[in-house]
Structure 1
Amino acid sequence: MHPELKNIETIELKVSNPPRRHFTRQRRQLSAGARRQLANSASLHLFKLQQRLPPRARIGLYYDGFAELPTQPLLDWCQRLGYVPYLPVVGSLGNDDKRLRFVPIYHAKLLNIPTRIHSLGMKQNHHRRLLWARELDVIICPLTAVDKNGNRMGMGGGFYDTTLAKSYQSGAKKPLKIGWCYDFQVIEQLERQPWDVPLDGLITPSGLRWF
């Protein structure tokens, strides 16, 4: 366990839908150095995901703008193995449409990508070559918390559940839905809503698990 994690308060198991602010506070207690170290530890488990991917796989990533587990190691991994990374774009079809589309990444560092701040606070980049989620092989999903059955509590906007609902309901094999988070974001059980789309797998600093 990273030494800084010892000071983070824990929550009791079998809690349904704890408040998002609980996890936000935990994330922000970590220094930037600790976040990077934990992300590097998580990236050591990516080889287990490679076994399920085709050559030149298309991978949806996201900016870690709210003290989440940093996603730069995911971009490094994509570039090292020849995978094609993408970032989500909100509102490309109008502000009332919650379906995400994805823009290719042409930079080696997320910090170097030209962005603007969406009204909801997240960074995003725009480009003419936008893909639908169904055209990706994997989507790395941001999350607030996840339970041991793969049920995911999102960031509150409902964008990923809306984006992935059709492929999930149809039983499509792709995109694979993979969570990427700290170990303290994994709890025993979350209350699942009818519109929730569960994860296929989860990567944390302690390992990769499939659901």
Structure 2
Amino acid sequence: MSNHFEHKQATRNELRKYFRQRRNVLSAEHKHSAKKALAQRLMQFVNEQPSIQTVAVYLSNDSEPDLHAFIEALWQANIRVALPVIHPIVAGHLLFVHYTPTTQMHENRYGIAEPKLACQQVIPLSQINLMCMPLVAFDAQGNRLGMGGGFYDRTLAHYRQQAYPNLQLMGIAHDCQQAPSLPTEAWDIPLAHVLTPSKHWQFAATGTLSTDSSSE
């Protein structure tokens, strides 16, 4: 990364542009390999924690890491899967909806596929054990830079107050999305984990790096 982007005064939009470009130039072969590696690592994480019964995921967009292989593995393991849906009433918030192979889908206003909203299929945050979150960049303190809409930060606004004690937040990224440091705001929600095709970063509650489990 150039010195320009190492400097803390780089704006969030500059950083988004830089890391999206890094992600967008990855080859199809690289992305396919990343999809397989992430599915394997994620299922290993899930299998090591029997308490994980419901996992929130996302459908990839804009060269985000593809989680389809992971979703298929969750279905096979009879673990409930949820997808985010833009809240139709509360602006800037998300709902999470049960996702199955037969779920009816449509495109939201950003052109991203999401389940058609059915109230009986909404899963409360209190019932989600692991949330896999897309990101544009992350750093070694567990800070996450998103696309700028603030949907996850608003939806998880009470996470810091331990409103959802059974919920773990995990950012999903390509290795090239790691930044030396990221500018933060008071409303940013820190991550407990970041998983890339080659590493599993784990963070303490304070956002300090506690362990770094690298692949052999």
**TM-score range normalised by the length of the shorter chain:** 0.7 to 0.9
> How far apart in 1 are the matches of 2:20 and 2:103?
25
| CA drift at 1:34 | 2.1
Q: Does 2:33 align with 1:37?
A: yes
TM-score, structure 1 length as denominator?
0.83
- 1:6-85 maps to which residues of 2 (within 5 A)? 10-12=1-3, 14-16=6-8, 17=12, 18-46=14-42, 47-54=44-51, 57-85=53-81
Summarize the Cα distance change of 1:209–1:199 in structure 2 as closer, same or farther, 3 Å threshold.
same
> How far apart in 1 are the matches of 2:75 and 2:117?
20
Which structure is higher in RCO with an 8 Å CA cutoff and minimum separation 6?
1
Determine if contact 1:100/1:132 at 8 Å carries over to the other structure. no
Per-residue deviation, residues 68-95 of structure 1 (Å, max 9, x unmatched): 1111122023123221111100023x2x
Q: Does 2:106 align with 1:116?
A: yes
Determine if contact 2:99/2:115 at 8 Å carries over to the other structure. no
Residue 198 of structure 2: aligned partner: 206
> Structure 1 residue runs of 4+, over 6 Å off?
none
Per-residue deviation, residues 40-73 of structure 1 (Å, max 9, x unmatched): 1222322134323415x11001110211111112
Percent of residue pairs identical: 24
Residue 161 of structure 1: aligned partner: 153
Long gaps (5+) in structure 2: 204-216
Q: Does 2:92 align with 1:98?
A: yes
> How far apart in 2 are the matches of 1:117 and 1:201?
29
**Alignment RMSD, CA only?**
2.1
Residue 125 of structure 1: aligned partner: 115
| CA drift at 1:209 | 1.6
Determine if contact 1:98/1:158 at 8 Å carries over to the other structure. yes
| CA drift at 1:124 | 1.2
Give the aligned residue type for 2:109. Answer: S
Give the aligned residue type for 1:70. Answer: D
Per-residue deviation, residues 79-115 of structure 1 (Å, max 9, x unmatched): 23221111100023x2x522211111111xxxx8643
Summarize the Cα distance change of 1:71–1:201 in structure 2 as closer, same or farther, 3 Å threshold.
same
Give the aligned residue type for 1:115. Answer: M
TM-score, structure 2 length as denominator?
0.81
Determine if contact 2:19/2:177 at 8 Å carries over to the other structure. yes
Q: Number of residues paired by the alignment?
A: 195
Long gaps (5+) in structure 1: 1-9
Determine if contact 2:39/2:67 at 8 Å carries over to the other structure. no
Summarize the Cα distance change of 1:41–1:11 in structure 2 as closer, same or farther, 3 Å threshold.
farther
